[in-house]
Structure 1
Amino acid sequence: MNTGSSDNGLMVGPRQNAQTSALWRTSDAVVIDHQALSAADESWLSGVRHLTLGALDVPKGLLCSLRKLEWLDIRGGPGNTVVNVAECSDLTGLKISQVRGLSDLSFLAGKESLRFLSL
């Protein structure tokens, strides 16, 4: 674990991994906030249908590996996380808010499965 000060001089607490800090709403709906995800997280996320990501970067390929994922809520974080949505073939719901550097939404053009979109 890493404990120390942030760039602005404020103390930050110990960093947990995404799995231990995940907030499970139901058996297939999870919120992950301010944590680092890696490709290894696919194993415990494999049954997730509803995923909320708060201010974190997602490695390329992770979202598309979640075969049951239907609903994705991205709250904050870098724009490259949103671009990874293009890989998700079966999304029916997508909510994107407060994402830095997001200027191109052309990846949404082929998302025929989407029934709900909030930007």
Structure 2
Amino acid sequence: MTRGLRIGSIVVNVSDVPRAMAFWTQALGYEPRYEPEPDWVILQPRDGGGPNLSLNLGETRPEPFPHVHLDLYTPDQDSEVERLLQLGASRVEDWPYPEEPHDFVVLADPDGNRFCVIDAPEG
């Protein structure tokens, strides 16, 4: 039994909180939960569903192959990848994609934090 334990927020270290906030609010349709601080902001879904994403000012650089990353699901992968690239994401070209067809595209946010855009039809 978990006694009500749940994920409240996923925390990502960034080098520029306002820049990261601008990217992730547009990317996910999130909004600040409270007034942002220079070194910290909690972003929440506008519709109330899903986990929070917290951005923490940090000096460390993301690992090229992180142990934990975000998987963003969408029924329209091509359009979402293009939209995220226009918002400031970049393609991760050196990712070891499998030879067979795959359902994910690896991108990096403006700080280099990697995430996947997953082709996930609704339902």
Normalising by the smaller structure, the TM-score range is under 0.3
Higher relative contact order (CA 8 A, sep 6+): 2
Structure showing the higher strand proportion among its residues? 2
TM-score (norm 2): 0.24
Q: Normalization by structure 1: what TM-score?
A: 0.25
